Amino acid sequence: MNPTSTPPTSPACATCPVHNLAGLKRLGVDMADWDYVVALAGNPNVGKSTVFNNLTGLRQHTGNWPGKTVTRAEGGFEYAGRRHKLVDLPGTYSLLATSTDEEVARDFLLFGRPDVTIAVVDATRLERNLNLVLQVLEITERVVVCLNLLDQARRLGIEIDDRRLARDLGVPVVRTAARYGEGTQALLQAVDEVATGRAACRPRRVFEEPPVLKQALNSLVTELTRLHPDLPNPRWVAWRLLDGDQRIAEALRDGELPGPSATARQAGAAAAVRGSNS
């Protein structure tokens, strides 16, 4: 059997993680070309690796991020005729870049500008995990929240209103128990709808600035937009500059922040994949 293909359907494996999912083709590391880049973000120990393996058919094909000792895992999958490159970001509790893991995750979301970010959260520790989700939503609105470890939540008697959570966050929320393959089909559909623009994300911004700070923020956003019209999320960049983030200031001075074109991004990522396979 081809290890990157889905197995034949049988009643005995209907709840198995490798159960055949309609429209899913696991591509492993076959990523010579793709239509969309999908980032996988989340706290440590929320099941990101299991979600990654379910979608790609891999057992964490890893390398290192350029210039870093942090492990990088990449793979691919095809759904509804569209090819997706999946990048598993380092598990982190924050995007404030106080560690190398946090810097790698934040920089990819901002500079790499993925088409969709899957934010994986632990259903048994939702409040703790939502801190990272809200930070991700400050950088990008193209997010699908993967409410994972539902099997553990059920055992603990925890019930979560995923529809209410989706309304409150303003992005799709999908219930999963990744180790059993539960919810994978719904996750694929949500990712595809966000990637293609069929699902509109309107994330809720939770911070209300004092008038003086709001004026300073708006002035800086206006200036950043004038100087760098292609800047991804100037509001978030302005926030980080006001907070004294030297990494963002350096990236802005070096011309890194406006971000590469989609073609250059694909070429660079493909080169990284080839390098990790050599």
Q: Which of 27-31, 88-92, 169-173 has the lowest mean pLDDT?
A: 27-31
Domain stops at, among 171, 205, 239: 205
DSSP per position, 39-80 = EEEE-TTSSHHHHHHHHH--S--EEE-TT-SSEEEEEEEEET
Torsional sign, CA 274, 87, 107, 223 = positive
Nearest CA among 9, 17, 14, 13 for reference residue 181: 17
Closest by CA to 239, choosing from 209, 208, 217, 212, is 217
- CA-nearest of 3, 5, 119 to 51 is 119
Packing angle of the helix pair 48-56, 184-196 (nearest 10 deg): 80
Same domain, 186 and 257: no
Give the up-direction half-sphere exposure of residue 268: CA atoms within 13 A in the CB hemisphere.
13
Q: Is the pLDDT of residue 79 over 80?
A: yes
Q: Which residues contact 173 (CB under 8 A, 6 or more apart)?
A: 144, 145, 147, 162, 163, 165, 166
State which of 183, 205, 227 marks the end of a domain.
205
Give the residue, 249 or 37, on which the prediction is more confident. Answer: 37
Task: Give the tokens for residue 222.
Answer: 């206006």
Note if the pTM is more than 0.85.
Answer: no
Residue 67: what pLDDT?
A: 47
Residue 39 and residue 116 in contact, taking contact as beta carbons nearer than 8 Å: yes
Same domain, 65 and 147: yes
Find the mean pLDDT for residues 86-99: 85
Mean pLDDT for the chain overall: 78
In this structure, are 166 and 182 located in the same domain?
yes
Q: Does 28 share its domain with 106?
A: yes
> pLDDT at residue 275 above 50?
no
* pLDDT reading at 200 higher than 80: yes
Based on the structure, what is the number of domains in the chain? Answer: 2
Q: Which of 170, 205, 240 is the last residue of a domain?
A: 205
